């Protein structure tokens, strides 16, 4: 029995795209996150904001780099006296490290890499 064009289209639509590192995308507050770790960091920052330990935070802050490249930092956190840059990383790959080092050198900032929700609290407490 030959396969019809409708069957082929149906199979294509069923194809599930998976993240190459096994990250599971998810949502919170009608916002999409590429991983559960990034979502849990968002939850921690929302909690800190409700407790008035931080003023506010921004997501996916982009930095332009030489050569037409850019690097996005997951969170930019504003306290009363400081600005903290946080990246949620399950796997910290060489290209990400390189771009992060370039951003730190060019813009003279520190980017903190966290691997758990608890580390977000630690970074904010240590850098307020």
Instruction: Note the pLDDT of residue 21.
Output: 63
Beta strands 26-28 and 31-33, pairing class: antiparallel
Q: Give the predicted TM-score (pTM) of the model.
A: 0.82
- What's the sign of the alpha-carbon dihedral 50, 56, 121, 23? positive
Beta strands 111-114 and 83-88, pairing class: parallel
- What's the sign of the alpha-carbon dihedral 26, 32, 35, 39? negative
Instruction: Note the pLDDT of residue 116.
Output: 93
Rounded CA separation 30/74 (Å): 17
Q: Are 81 and 11 in contact (CB under 8 A)?
A: no
**Confidence band of 1 (pLDDT split at 50, 70, 90):** low
Instruction: Note the pLDDT of residue 17.
Output: 63
**Confidence band of 16 (pLDDT split at 50, 70, 90):** low
Q: pLDDT tens-digit profile of 32-73?
A: 998 899 999 999 999 999 999 999 999 999 999 999 999 999
Domains of the chain, earliest start first? 20-126 (3.40.1350.10)
Instruction: Note the pLDDT of residue 125.
Output: 94
Query: What backbone torsions phi and psi does residue 113 show, to the nearest 5 degrees?
Result: -95, 125
């Amino acid at each position: 029995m030959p396969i019809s064009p409708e069957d082929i289209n149906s199979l294509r639509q069923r194809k599930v795209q998976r993240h190459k590192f096994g990250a599971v995308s998810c949502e919170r507050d009608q916002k999409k996150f590429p991983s559960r770790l990034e979502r849990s960091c968002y939850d921690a920052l929302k909690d800190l904001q409700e407790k008035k330990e931080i003023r506010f935070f921004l997501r996916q802050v982009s930095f332009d780099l030489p050569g037409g490249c850019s690097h996005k930092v997951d969170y930019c956190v504003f306290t009363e006296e400081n600005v903290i840059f946080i990246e949620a990383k399950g796997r910290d790959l060489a290209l990400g490290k390189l771009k992060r080092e370039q951003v730190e050198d060019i813009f003279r900032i520190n980017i903190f890499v966290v691997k758990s929700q608890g580390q977000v609290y630690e970074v904010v407490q240590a850098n307020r």
